[in-house]
Structure 1
C-alpha cells in the first residue's frame, strides 16, 4: 500500500480528504488499463499465425491487446461498411481487390510515413499510401497428390485442366462472390476463352459446358477444402502456394501447380480504418505489421510471403519458399481491379442466378 493511501485510511482523516486522495490515484489506475485493438482478418491459419507469433511483441511493447475479428474479405468489408460512422474495428486485412473497394468507399485512412512503409515492395504500396500489402502470393491450382498418384494422372499444367472429363465430380471451386480464389479462377478461364475483365461473356457462356459439369461443390471459402482432399472427394481446386504449404504441414497430400497461362497475383493488404477510436495505436500496429521482424515471424510460422524484402528467411524451408515465389511471379498475372470492382456486383448476381442455383 502506498504511503498516500495508508495515510488516507487513518480514522483521523476526514471523509472528504479520503475522497480527494482516491480521486488523485484514479488517473494512474486508468492509465495502466490495457486497451484493445480489433483487427479484421481471415480466420484459421492466418489468425493463428498472427495471434501467436506476430501480435505478442506489439502487445507487450504498447500495453495493448489485439483481438481478431475473423471473416472473409467480403465479410470484413461488409462489417466495416455497416459501422462506417462508428467503427468497431481499428485495422483490417483484405485481399487486394477488395481493399481497393474499401478505399473507394472512404473506409481507410492514409498510413503514416514510417521506415517499414518505405521498406516494402513498391508494388505493395497502394495509391497515396491508403493501404499496404502485408503478404504476397498468387492463386494457381492445388491438386490431390495421393489421388493423382493412384490414378496415374500427370500434374495439372493449365486452368483448363479443371474441364478435363476425368475430373467429373472431383473439382471443388470456391464461390466467386465470396472468394478471391474463385474469382481468380473464373477470370483466368474467361481470359483463355477470349474474354477480358471488361468482357466476361466468354467465361459465363462456356462455363456450363466446360468446368461446370465437373464441379462437385461450390464452397464459400477454402476452409472445407482440406477435409475434401483427405476424404478423396476433391482432386483439384484453385488455391495459393501458401495455403498448399500449410496443408502439407498438416500431413495432407496436396501439391501446388503453376498454370502455364500464369497464376493471379493475390496480395493481402491492410489499412487503418478511418475514424476509429484509437488512431495513434492503430497506426502503430499497422507499422509493426509491415516491419521485417513481424513479417519474418509470419513466414516462419505461417508460410506468409513477406511484402518487406528485408524480412529474414529462417531456415532452408523458408528460403525455398521465397525462391519458389520469385519463380512463380515470372508468369503471374495482375488483374484490372478498377474494371472488376465496377462490375463485380453484377457478376455476383449473375453467378448466383446461373451457376450456383
Structure 2
C-alpha cells in the first residue's frame, strides 16, 4: 500500500513538473549593441514585445564585431535568435549563411527600398547618415558657407580644422569611397580615392580620430570646425548645447544602416520574425529615433518637427546613397594596410 501510494505521489509530481515545463514561456535571445541601445531595449522595446507575445528575452550585448564573432563561433549550434549589426558586418553575416529569410512580413511593404538588404534575409531598422558635422558658430564667424560637396574636404580653408576618422572606422571608409567616386572611381577602383586623400585631403586633416568622445572634445574646444561624422553622433553633441549642424553633401550622404536579421537554426523562428516586425513598427521606430538618433526606415513613422530636422527622415532619405559592402568586405583589410602606409603615415 505504501509502495503504491509512493508511486502515485511520484507520478503526480512528475505530471505537475511536466505541466509546469509545458507552461513555461519560450525564450528569445537577442544579440545587439550595449550602452544606450541596451537601455532602450530593456526599458521600452523588449517589455512591450514580451507582454504581447508571452516570451522571455535574453539580451546579449556586444558591438557588431563581437556579435558576428559569436555567430561564427556558434555555427551549427546557434544561441542567438535575432541580431542587430551595422550594415557592413550584416552583409558578412548574410554571406556566411547566418541569416534566415525574413519572409512575408507585412510591415516590410512600408520600409524604404534602400533599407532592404539583398536576398530578403536582413532589413535596416534605422538610418544614420555619414556626411559633414560642423561648428555653425565658427563657420559664421569666418563667413564660410556650410560644406556642400565631398570635394570640400580638400579646401585649404579647413587646414588643421578638419578631422576624418581612419579607414578602419565606417565614417572614414565612407569618405574614402566617396572621394573615389567623385574622382572617377568607386569601390571597384579605389585608387582615385587614395590619391585624393594623400595629395589633397590629408594636408588639411588635424588628426585621423576614430573616437567619438575625442571628436566631441575637439569640437567643443574649438580646435576643429569640420569633420566627417554621423548624423546621430552630431545630434548627441548638439543636444548638449554645442552649436553643431549637419550637412548632406550634394553627391549624397552615405547611409549607415543598423540591420536586423533572424538567425538561421533558431529554435523560435516565428518569434524572431515577429521581433523584427516589432522593431519596424511605427511606434518603436519613433522610440529608436528619440533614444538612439536613428532615422526611421519605416516611411509611415512620424516624428515631431524638432527631431525630424536632426535625423535622416522624409525628404532627406532621397539624399542618401549606399556603398557596395560585398566589394568593400573583400578588400577592407588591404585598404586598411594601404591607408596606414600611404595616408596616415
Partner of 1:155: 146
Partner of 1:286: 276
Query: How much is the aligned-residue C-alpha RMSD, in angstroms?
Result: 3.1
> Structure 1 pair 176/37, CA: closer, same or farther in 2 (3 Å)?
farther
**Within the alignment, does 1:115 sit opposite 2:103 as a pair?**
no
Q: Any stretches of 5+ residues in structure 1 without a counterpart?
A: 1-10
Give how far 1:195 is off.
Answer: 2.0
> Structure 1 pair 332/124, CA: closer, same or farther in 2 (3 Å)?
closer
CA distance in 1, matches of 2:257, 2:240: 24
CA distance in 1, matches of 2:253, 2:339: 22
Partner of 2:306: 317
TM-score, length basis structure 2: 0.84
> Which consecutive segments of 4 or more residues in structure 1 shift more than 6 A?
none
TM-score, length basis structure 1: 0.82
**Within the alignment, does 1:201 sit opposite 2:191 as a pair?**
yes
Give how far 1:35 is off.
Answer: 5.5
Partner of 2:218: 228
**For the Cα contact (< 8 Å) 1:244–1:255, is it kept in 2?**
yes
CA distance in 1, matches of 2:341, 2:263: 33
**For the Cα contact (< 8 Å) 2:29–2:81, is it kept in 1?**
yes
How big is each residue's C-alpha offset from its partner over 1:29-64, in whole Å with a ceiling of 9 and x where there is no partner? 445656654433344444443443322211222332
CA distance in 1, matches of 2:30, 2:270: 15
**For the Cα contact (< 8 Å) 2:27–2:55, is it kept in 1?**
no
**Within the alignment, does 1:105 sit opposite 2:96 as a pair?**
yes
SS of residue matched to 1:244: helix
**For the Cα contact (< 8 Å) 1:175–1:183, is it kept in 2?**
yes
> Structure 1 pair 56/252, CA: closer, same or farther in 2 (3 Å)?
farther
Q: Any stretches of 5+ residues in structure 2 without a counterpart?
A: none
SS of residue matched to 1:283: helix
Give how far 1:282 is off.
Answer: 2.0
**For the Cα contact (< 8 Å) 1:139–1:240, is it kept in 2?**
yes
How big is each residue's C-alpha offset from its partner over 1:172-193, in whole Å with a ceiling of 9 and x where there is no partner? 322322x322211111122233
